[in-house]
Amino acid sequence: MGMVSPRLYRFDASGCNGCDVELVEMTTLVPLAELGVELVETPTAANVLLVTGGANLKTKGELEATYRDLQEPRVVVAVGACAATMGIFKGGYAMTGPIDAIIPVHWYILGCPPRPQAILNALAEAFQLQGDKLGALLETPPGFRGDPHVDQNKCMGCGACAHMCPAEAIEILDQDGQRVIRFKRQDCIFCATCQDVCPSQAVELAQREKSWFSDKEASRSEARLPLANCLVCGAAYVPAEQVTWALRKLDGALRMDEAVRARVGRSACICPTCRRSSLEEIREAKRILAALAKEA
């Protein structure tokens, strides 16, 4: 998408103003006039709308009117997680967004908030801007938290990250004999909870690629792990790697002889439904616990 002279108008659709601060900071990195970009004070003078926040009952109508007032071609850029998905405000009684549910959105700049450098480079790509200083702005500063990336080789599919994510940015799906751990980075608020709770250190927050997209679903990342089948009923019930990880942890904590370890391994390969539905399996579980208690 190329333009001779993008004219930007900012609209706060209800957020914490973190993204608005970054937009202001963006203007200090490179003189926008050198890039052929102009900030304007009214939507009627603009052809590009930068929207922050998730939109609520008060701002929805104003957002629609602002969009109508734009000059053609009416390009809309959603800035930040709230604009993309409503972020942590999803489900709020006053929320009416996200922005693309109200007006068309052409570009999404993800983050909570996105770095000013990311905003500027996203605009540069979207509107084919040229400038000597733009390349250096792609460099990520040391210690920047970034968004979550999962290491397929370390992930065991336990789901701790999804259970603890305050922004509901991670979902767990069991399908076709696999567990899919999907990171919806358009929802991510960079809190690092997933990184902190991961028992296998499979999740890391880092800025390894661009954080702007014309399709917000393109920002997703995921891990896929094969599911183990229950020895009794044959149903897929848990990632095989999770069983292996749990047995390895037990080996490190307890001195199990081969017979006890074999019994523990067998029990771990039976789904919870079968373990609860069989009286013999319940008795076996008690016998295993008694044996482990002796060896602890």
Q: Give pLDDT tens digits for 2-48.
A: 455 899 999 999 889 999 999 999 998 888 888 889 999 999 999 99
Amino acid at 204: E
Pairing mode, if any, of strands 107-109 and 48-52? unpaired
Q: From the CB of residue 123, how many other CB atoms can be counted at a distance below 10 Å? A: 24
The DSSP output letter for 199 is: T
Inter-residue contact 177 to 147 (CB < 8 Å): no
Q: What is the pTM of this model?
A: 0.83
Contacts for 22-29: CB closer than 8 Å, 24+ residues apart = 22/79, 22/113, 22/114, 22/115, 22/116, 22/119, 23/50, 23/52, 23/79, 23/116, 23/119, 25/116, 26/116, 26/117, 26/119, 26/120, 28/116, 29/116, 29/117, 29/120, 29/133, 29/137
> Spelled out in words, what is the top-level CATH class assigned to the domain 147-206+219-225?
alpha beta
Question: Using CA atoms, how far apart are residues 124 and 127, in angstroms rounded to an integer?
Answer: 5
> Spelled out in words, what is the top-level CATH class assigned to the domain 7-138?
alpha beta
Calculate the average pLDDT of the chain: 89
Pairing mode, if any, of strands 75-79 and 48-52? parallel
Classify burial at 9, counting beta carbons within 10 Å of its beta carbon; exposed 0-12, middle 13-18, buried 19 or more. Answer: buried
pLDDT digits (tens, 9 = 90+) for 137-155: 666 777 777 788 888 899 9
